[in-house]
Amino acid sequence: MPATDATAVPTRPRRFNGRIVARYLLLTLGAVIVLFPVYMAVVNSLLLPSQIAHQPPPFFPNDPQWHTYPDAWKAGHLGIYLRNSAVQTIIIVAGQLITSILAAFAFAFLEFPLKKTLFIVFLMTLMIPFEVTVATNVTTVTSLGWFNTFQGLTVPFLATGFGVFLLRQAFLQIPRDLKEAAQLDGYGHLRFLWSVAIPLARPAIAALGVFSFLGAWNQYLWPLLVTGNDNSVRTVQIGLKQLLNTQLDQINVSLAGTIIAIAPLIILLVVFQKQLVRSLTAGAVK
Amino acid sequence: MRTQAARRRKDWALAYVLLLPGLAIFAVFTFWPFLQNFKLALYQNPPYPGLPSTFVGLSQVGDVLSSTAFHQSLISTLLFVLMVVPTGLLGGLMLALAAHRALKGMAIFQVIFSSTVVSSVAVAAVVFGTLMDPVVGLLPWLGLDPHPAILSNPTWALPAVAIIAIWQFLGLSFIIMTAGLQSLPEEVLEAARLDGARAPTMFFRVTIPLLSPTIFFGLVVGFIYAFQSFGQIDILIGSQNAEFTHTNVLLFYIYRALSVQNDPGLAAVLSIVLFVILLGVTLVQFRFLERRVHYAGN
């Protein structure tokens, strides 16, 4: 980057600073646009309903009503919804990681009849979006007696074609010599998988884990269809819809609930940004 | 010789055992229900619950495909996609270009710009629903007449939910575009700069063409994302108002057919339509993916 060479010409630094300032202004403008809706949600969650309706609208809570958060927690049953979402998400992430690792290992390291065909079968699942299978899946889950259970909520998602594809690519990058050396050392396939392949493919596995987490936590259609009203397995996304419907005159409480529901994902974003980016761009750039 | 053959057969067995869990899930929850659509589409739902559904052949498919509700749904879906995808991609590209410099504090901006990717549809709906509300929202302050409420207004309801989807898609779009910018060959950009290319020329003649695979990937991802959106409509508009407000997008129509109208036959026909559309998009993506993977393997 030539612009960073600030010592070159005496006139250079001033122009350079102007450009930098302009760029920061542009970035700040972008950040304001992106964050504005969430900022307003936080502000409104701390106001009284009468204050929110005030014109012009207040853009800062002068007298923050912190009690809306415990109110939302209680009125919205958020404790139980968050627990349900956590259970559902953990089962799906663990299941997807296990089934993907196993299948990807077979495709990357083993030779067997119909290998190519079976790989295509796995890839074909990427062409069938879950939405076009819901009609029958609701019937299946209900007839298994899984309506309103964690099995019903999670089992249909315990495998992922994308995950198999992603991890197979990662396993294929492991040098063949390593596999042969391990074999000479008397390693069986599973021991090689556990102590060599998985550790080496950790970045890809982490990326898949974060990707699965995001998808599972934010699921909307399926939990709406297969959870009942007794709240025993209902997830926080559906809980938000209910909170909004039951607290019509308490919009501040609904917004407080929303902030609580998104908090785990903000943490996920900040801590695992690299893995998230990696999984979301798999296939875009190598 | 015999031990080798035995070992190979042991490998086969192991491979099938490793593939079994995934295959079983896919068989029961992906392939079978998918194929089942083609059967359900041929059976008409009984007029009263409890009666068996009757085989009507392709007549139900014809009825659905020629119905006004279906045409309206298809138009709403396409309009929604056209509002969301180009705007979301352009916004993401602009943010990515702004953030593509090694400056102090850039990591913070990158987290902010990608942040909407983690927002769920329910969160986005509640947040924007408040801002668009006629009483507690911002419209009066912006000098706009909030009545009739935009979310129950046939002209503005669809653009309003599209804005929510654009905001949500912005994070993903930014991430994709940033990854694309980072993968651009620095030598080529440097050479163009040394040749005296000015900023606009650089952008339109060098950056955009080099970025075209990324833009293409973003288009495919955006299409799939937009076709699968319906939560905002379910939360903010609801089943009764969807058709009146022209927000009955395909996926919402499927959901309503299933859980409100209780009509699996209708849902099946609509699912097949959705599949055919997404298949077209996915096939294009596959060709593309194959090529990239091929390059990566070399």
Give the torsion sign (CA, B89, B125, A61, B108): negative
Q: Among A14, A38, A65, which residue terminates a domain?
A: A65
A35 and A165 both lie in a single domain: no
Per-residue pLDDT, A15 = 53
| B158: CATH | 1.10.3720.10
Tokens of B296: 């990566």
Four-point Cα dihedral B135, B141, B147, B153, nearest 10: -100
Would B281 be classed as within a structural domain? yes
A87 and A217 both lie in a single domain: yes
Question: Does B253 touch chain A if contact means CB atoms closer than 8 Å?
Answer: no
Would A251 be classed as within a structural domain? yes
Q: Output the CA–CA distances (angstroms, integers) from residue B6 to A110, B1, B11, B13, in the order listed.
A: 14, 9, 9, 11
Q: Among A37, A65, A93, which residue terminates a domain?
A: A65
- DSSP assignment of B106-128 equals HHHHHHHHHGGGG--HHHHHHHH
A157 and A101 both lie in a single domain: yes
ipTM over 0.90: no
* Pick from A34, A57, A237: CB nearest B170: A34
Would B184 be classed as within a structural domain? yes
Would A257 be classed as within a structural domain? yes
In chain A, whose CA is at the least distance from the CA of B92? A30
**Rg of the Cα atoms in chain B:** 25
Number of domains in chain B: 1
Is B254 exposed, middle or buried (CB count within 10 Å of its CB: 0-12, 13-18, 19+)? Answer: buried
* Pick from B14, B25, B109: CB nearest A99: B25
A254 and A136 both lie in a single domain: yes
Would A256 be classed as within a structural domain? yes
Per-residue pLDDT, A65 = 87
A57 and A20 both lie in a single domain: yes
Q: How far is A12 from chain B (nearest CA, A)?
A: 17
Q: How far is B154 from chain A (nearest CA, A)?
A: 22
Range of the domain at B182: 68-297
- Which one of A132, A191, A192 makes the best mutation probe of the B interface by having the most chain B beta carbons within 10 Å? A132
A21 and A123 both lie in a single domain: no
Residues of chain B with pLDDT under 50: 293-298
Question: Does B215 touch chain A if contact means CB atoms closer than 8 Å?
Answer: no
A14 and A95 both lie in a single domain: no
Range of the domain at A22: 2-65
A76 and A54 both lie in a single domain: no
Per-residue pLDDT, B217 = 84
A13 and A87 both lie in a single domain: no
Would A285 be classed as within a structural domain? no
| A181: CATH | 1.10.3720.10
Per-residue pLDDT, A4 = 44
Number of domains in chain A: 2
Per-residue pLDDT, A284 = 55
Would A211 be classed as within a structural domain? yes
Residues 6+ apart with CB under 8 A from A15: none
Per-residue pLDDT, B169 = 95
In chain A, whose CA is at the least distance from the CA of B257? A135
* Pick from B176, B279, B293: CB nearest A127: B279
Residues of chain A with pLDDT under 70: 1-16, 247-248, 283-286
Would B171 be classed as within a structural domain? yes
CB B46 within 8 A of CB B54: yes
